[in-house]
Structure 1
C-alpha cells in the first residue's frame, strides 16, 4: 500500500532523528565534556537531563507521526 508523503511529516521525522542522535551523543560524551570543562558533577547530571528531555521529545513526536500516518 502506498501513501502520499507529506513534506511536513518528513521534516518532523528528520528532526526527531537528529534529536535522537544528538541526545545519544550527549549522553555518551557527558563525562568527557564535564572533565574537559572542569565542571562539577552536577553539570554532568544536567547533560544527562538534557539528553533525557531530547529522547522524550522525540518519542512524543514520533508517536504523533505514527498516529497521524495510521489515520491515512
Structure 2
C-alpha cells in the first residue's frame, strides 16, 4: 500500500473527479430543465456561474495535486 501522502493525494484526486462529473451532469440538466420550463436567461445564467465556480475549484485543486506530486 502507498504512503499516507499518496493516499491523501489519491483521495483528493477522486473528489475532484467526482465534483467535475457531478457538476457537468447537474449543469446539463439545469440547462435542459431551464429550457423546458422557459426560465429567463438571467436565472439560467446562475447555473452557469455555479458550474464555473465548481470548475475553478476543481482546477485549483488539480494544480495543488500536481504540486504535491512534484514535491515528492
Q: After the TM superposition, which parts of structure 1 deviate over 6 Å for at least 4 consecutive aligned residues?
A: none
Q: Which residue matches 1:60? A: 60
Q: List runs of 5+ in structure 2 lacking aligned partners.
A: none
Q: Distance in 2 between matches of 1:10 and 1:54?
A: 19
- TM-score, scaled to structure 1: 0.78
Cα displacement (A) at 1:9: 1.0
**What does 1:5-44 align with in structure 2 at a 5 Å threshold?**
6-35=6-35, 39-44=39-44
CA shift, 1:38, in A, is 5.6
Tell me the CA shift for residue 33 of structure 1.
2.4
Q: CA RMSD in A?
A: 2.0
Alignment coverage as a number of residue pairs: 70
Deviation digits for residues 16-59 of structure 1, max 9, x if unmatched? 00111112113322222224566432221111111111111000
Instruction: Note the residue ranges of structure 1 that are not aligned, 5 or more in a row.
Output: none
Structure with the greater relative contact order (CA < 8 A, sep ≥ 6): 1 or 2? Answer: 2
